[in-house]
Chains A and B, each alone.
Chain A
Amino acid sequence: MNKEELIAKLKVIIKPYTANSEAYDNLTENTDFIKDLEINSANLVDIVLDIEENFDVVIDNTDMERMLDVKTAVEIIETKLAAK
């Protein structure tokens, strides 16, 4: 899976939790889940769980701590997929 495919898959995951649709439509690697997409912090855990289910990876606490933007999420998923 290349980065574009990965981001496309991630975008589908985060959509239901996104409050700011304009920021969602203009999503880039620099998009912040909370500041830009206005995702409720209680839903960040749902994104982490959805990533685990959809990509069949395990996100540990240390990784979850950093998962606040698209770029970091992509980085973490890429690392987990490469380690499989």
Chain B
Amino acid sequence: MIGNDVVDILQSRQESNWQRRGFLEKLFTEEEQLFIKQETNPEILVWLFWSMKEAAYKIYNRQTKRREYIPKKLICRIVLNENDYIEGEVTCGGNIYYTKTAILNDGIHTIAVSSYCDLNNVIEVEKRGIFKDQYGIPYLSDLSKISNNVSISNHGRFEKVVKLI
């Protein structure tokens, strides 16, 4: 399964004030907050963790069909920090999701998968031939429902549609 989330940092600066009282405490675990506070560029880390949670939640929502606002239950860990991408893990209850985040020009795009081996099997596609089921979960209409699900994320200047190859 697959999920993704894109954050336009310029848009976020208009929409959110991550420095307001209670914001970090309500969205991030103690450990994540500690990382954010120690970081020289905390803003990037706030939206990196947020996009990891959102991308992983999209799979969680697919698996459970449950709608919940549970950012603190989606626990992020950064595994590998390379120049052009960041690999991480998000755990939620007994589930684990693997993430890969690209740092864009004033933006962040995270993809999440439920099997680690799929992490490098994700491609970006055009938004075409997509329909949604009764839960609002998108699928590619020309292919079988289960094996070829897609994930869509829009924010500000960015729109990202990804699927497993």
Task: List A residues at the B interface (Cβ < 8 Å).
Answer: 17, 35, 40-46, 48-49, 52, 61, 64-68
Question: When chains A and B are docked, how far (Å) is the Cα of A68 from the Cα of B57?
Answer: 15
A5 to B18, CA, bound (A): 30
A49–B22 Cα gap in the complex (Å)? 7
Range class of the B interface residue count: 20 to 34
Chain B residue nearest in CB terms to A16: B15
Chain B residue with the shortest CB-CB distance to A32 = B67
> Considering the chains assembled together, what is the distance between the CA atoms of A69 and B124 in angstroms?
32
- Chain B hits for A40, CB < 8 A: 15, 155
Is B68 an interface position by the 8 A CB rule? yes
Q: Are A48 and B26 in contact, with the CB atoms below 8 A?
A: yes
Q: A41-B54, A49-B26 are in contact. Are A65 and B69 (CB under 8 A)?
A: yes
B79 to chain A, nearest CB (A): 24
B80 contacts A by Cβ under 8 Å: no
User: Which chain B residue shows the least CB distance to A69?
Assistant: B67
Interface: B98 (CB within 8 A): no
Instruction: Quote the shortest CB–CB distance from A42 to chain B (angstroms).
Output: 6
Can you give 9 contacting A-B residue pairs, CB < 8 Å?
Answer: A40-B15, A40-B155, A48-B26, A49-B20, A49-B23, A49-B26, A52-B22, A64-B69, A65-B68
Report A-chain residues with C-beta under 8 Å of the C-beta of B54.
41
Instruction: List B18-39 residues whose CB lies under 8 Å from chain A.
Output: 20-23, 26-27
* B136 and A42 form a contact (CB under 8 A): no
For residue B68, give the distance in angstroms from its CB to the closest CB of chain A. Answer: 5
Q: Which residues of A contact B67 (CB under 8 A)?
A: 68
B50 to A66, Cβ gap below 8 A?
A: no
> Does B134 sit at the interface, judged by CB under 8 A?
no
B16 and A42: CB pair below 8 A? Answer: yes
CB pair B70–A65 under 8 Å, yes or no, is yes
Q: When the two chains form their complex, are residues B69 and A68 in contact, meaning their CB atoms are under 8 A apart?
A: yes
Q: Evaluate contact between B69 and A41: CB separation under 8 angstroms.
A: yes
| Cα-based distance from A42 to B28 in the complex (angstroms) | 12
Is B12 on the interface with A (CB-CB < 8 A)? yes
Q: Apart from A41-B54, A45-B26, A52-B22, what are 17 other A-B pairs with CB-CB below 8 Å?
A: A35-B136, A40-B15, A42-B50, A43-B15, A45-B27, A45-B71, A46-B17, A48-B26, A49-B23, A61-B72, A64-B26, A64-B69, A65-B68, A66-B68, A66-B69, A68-B67, A68-B68
